[in-house]
Amino acid sequence: MAERRLLVLFGSQTGTAQDTAERIGREAKRRHLRCRVEALDSCDVANLIHEPLVVFVCATTGQGDPPDNMKMFWRFLFRKNLPAGSLCQLDYAVLGLGDSSYPKFNFIAKKLHKRLLQLGGNPLLPVALGDDQHDLGPDAVVDPWLVALWDKILALYPLPPGLEIISPDVRLPPKYTLHYLPEDSPHPGSDLLQPTAPRAAPCELHPFAARVVSNQRVTAQSHFQDVRLIEFDIAGSGITFSAGDVVMIQPQNCPEDVQQFCQLLRLEPHRRFVLEPTEPGTPLPPLLPQPCTIQYLVTHYLDISCVPRPQLFELLASFSTNELEREKLQEFSSAQGQEELFSYCNRPRRTTLEAMWDFPHTTCAIPADYLLDLIPRIRPRAFSIASSVLAHPERMQILVAVVRYKTRLSKPRRGLCSTWLASLNPEQGDVRVPLWVKKGGMKFPADPATPVIMIGPGTGVAPFRAAIQERVAQGRRGNCLFFGCRYKSKDFYCQSEWEELVTKGLLTLFTAFSRDQEEKVYVQHRIRENGRLVWELLSSGNAHVYLAGNAKEMPAAVAEALRSVL
């Protein structure tokens, strides 16, 4: 009988595709398949010719780009010299995760599916196109697609005689076991986040601990939104960046949440432990020191403030000794309960910690071994860099809108990273933030004579501030900025800086203050009003146009305004 083995490969930018890939891995174990789950760039692509069965889970980023951890795979797969039938032994399926508010919706998944077909692969199913914009999120597509996938796979690789699918009520072993060290074992003296001289440019596995130099509110105190201009000292980090690049920041949970979590699960924050993989060959989580304290794990690693994943309720149901709680958890884990689960978790943006509070009898029975299965790790957040090294050597600035909004829950929802960043006070000593830089999707023209038209309402102006600083320092003219916000007096970020450049003739500025008059005025109105200049810059100046900011209605409205000008 053919060997029952499955390889699940993922290309993930924010972690969703990785979560989905790991879910497929767990479902494979329940069907007694030998299964490996790996990032596309961690596997040797040349070995694909020996794989009988592969499921690809991939996200699309930016303007139809592959995620960072599949870029090498992508280059290899599209080499012209790969023979047409090289993957004829491969049964495959492609699951895409995208966002239909972007023009290149699920571009990578569609293109991958097509390329594997060209190389002779045999698709088990049509490509799945998960959509973030759907009311129920990507699961609306993923769930039924997975049901169909397992039907196909079990038809090809039937269960061995005498074996059944392991039911969801039966708990799989944890990925790692947690071994507590005796209280009196010696402590290693290392500080966990050292601002060391880097071996190479900082990256996700080796971030640079940058000192916060200043943290200044740039909106009026009376304004509903708190926006910060935060400056970091990156001297000696080896970090280089140019306009359009992005800084990745690794946030942490607030002390109150950490304390609550430990109380709820009856964990001792200062206990130290080492992790051991349950299955030999499973790598340890790269971002956790060994040995590690519970405090460090909960503060820096476990994302207790994210909206809980469905898997949380499945696992909790299996630990529950309280009948009422168990019934509710099982309902949330059933196909029929998905609407209700969505209304409980996603609509009000309930956090994992809050969900655990609602099931206190179950939560206190969770073995520590399962913490890393229950709760995903905290993902880094991306911010446009808002300054240029030519204007601020050895420094880096970002513009951060502090995320805070109301749902039907009594406590306001808060963004994990922006709330943490806003709370940092450099006057209270040496405050540090783990960060590294990634190339951005925006490239500014190399030719100094090419003008640029930048449209950046709200915090969308951040990358353009970097570009304008850089271009002014290089003596380039032809800088045209359309900026929009609510009130001239409350949220006109960097007002004096722009006005000084306008006075010196280095910047053409158009502003739209939407609430300063009866009828609302937005950047798209200013584009239409100044259509002659825009056309002039585009037709005779060969200008490049850039747009950044909120991805809701604004991009379509701006595109429409540009179309009408043309």
Closest-CA residue to 58 (of 79, 39, 34): 39
Helix (H, G, I), strand (E, B) or coil at 367: coil
Residues 269 and 368 in one domain: yes
Q: What is the torsion angle, in degrees rounded to the nearest 10, for the CA atoms of residue 319, residue 322, residue 328 and residue 332?
A: 0
Residues 264 and 245 in one domain: no
| Residue 203 in tokens | 């990256």
Residues 245 and 387 in one domain: yes
Spatial distance between the Cα atoms of 565 and 529, rounded to a whole number of angstroms: 9
Helix (H, G, I), strand (E, B) or coil at 175: coil
CA distances from 2 to 7, 33, 160 (A): 15, 11, 11
Residues 18 and 136 in one domain: yes
Could you count the other beta carbons within 10 Å of the beta carbon of residue 411? Answer: 10
Residues 242 and 263 in one domain: no
| Residue 269 in tokens | 């924050």
Helix (H, G, I), strand (E, B) or coil at 68: helix
* Any domain includes 445: no
Model pLDDT, residue 1: 54
* Any domain includes 229: yes
* Any domain includes 163: no
| Residue 336 in tokens | 């029929």
Spatial distance between the Cα atoms of 488 and 128, rounded to a whole number of angstroms: 46
472, 454 Cβ separation under 8 angstroms: no
36, 24 Cβ separation under 8 angstroms: no
Helix (H, G, I), strand (E, B) or coil at 544: strand
CA distances from 140 to 106, 135, 314, 339, 358 (A): 15, 8, 18, 10, 26
342, 330 Cβ separation under 8 angstroms: no
Per-residue pLDDT of the chain in tens (566 residues, 90 and over written 9): 568 999 999 999 888 899 899 999 999 999 999 999 999 988 888 888 999 999 999 999 878 999 988 999 999 999 999 998 999 999 999 999 999 988 899 999 999 999 999 999 999 999 999 998 888 788 889 999 999 999 999 999 999 999 999 987 788 999 999 999 998 777 665 445 544 554 678 999 899 999 999 999 999 999 999 999 999 999 999 999 999 999 999 999 999 999 999 999 999 999 999 999 998 878 899 899 999 999 999 999 999 999 998 889 989 999 999 999 999 999 998 888 988 999 999 999 999 999 999 999 999 999 999 999 999 999 999 999 999 999 999 999 999 999 999 999 999 999 999 999 999 999 999 999 999 999 888 999 999 899 999 999 999 999 999 999 999 999 999 999 999 999 999 999 999 999 999 999 999 999 999 999 999 999 999 999 999 999 999 999 999 999 999 877 899 999 999 999 99
Residues 148 and 295 in one domain: no
Select from 374, 394, 428 the last residue of a domain: 374
* Any domain includes 367: yes
303, 378 Cβ separation under 8 angstroms: yes
Helix (H, G, I), strand (E, B) or coil at 75: helix
Closest-CA residue to 335 (of 96, 65, 147, 542): 147
What one-character-per-residue DSSP string does 1-22 give? ----EEEEEEE-SSSHHHHHHH
CATH number for 117 = 3.40.50.360
| Residue 159 in tokens | 């269960």
Indicate the pTM of the whole model.
0.90
CATH number for 368 = 1.20.990.10
| Residue 532 in tokens | 């002659």
Model pLDDT, residue 198: 47
Spatial distance between the Cα atoms of 210 and 232, rounded to a whole number of angstroms: 6
Closest-CA residue to 49 (of 78, 84, 96, 18): 84
Residues 406 and 366 in one domain: no
Spatial distance between the Cα atoms of 253 and 420, rounded to a whole number of angstroms: 8
Select from 388, 409, 438 the last residue of a domain: 438
DSSP 461: G
Select from 135, 156, 177 the last residue of a domain: 156
* Any domain includes 398: yes
Could you count the other beta carbons within 10 Å of the beta carbon of residue 537? Answer: 21
Helix, strand, coil shares of the chain as percentages rounded to 5?
35, 20, 45
Closest-CA residue to 248 (of 381, 386, 384, 377): 381
Residues 352 and 432 in one domain: no
Spatial distance between the Cα atoms of 178 and 295, rounded to a whole number of angstroms: 14
Model pLDDT, residue 43: 86
Spatial distance between the Cα atoms of 411 and 56, rounded to a whole number of angstroms: 39
Model pLDDT, residue 368: 95
Residues 363 and 387 in one domain: no
Residues 25 and 69 in one domain: yes
Structural domain of 405: 208-249+380-438
Closest-CA residue to 154 (of 35, 4, 54): 4
Question: How many domains does the structure of the chain reveal?
Answer: 4
Rama region for 463: left / alpha / beta (φ>0; ψ in -120 to 50; rest) = alpha
| Residue 284 in tokens | 């340890």
Residues 145 and 225 in one domain: no
Residues 64 and 103 in one domain: yes
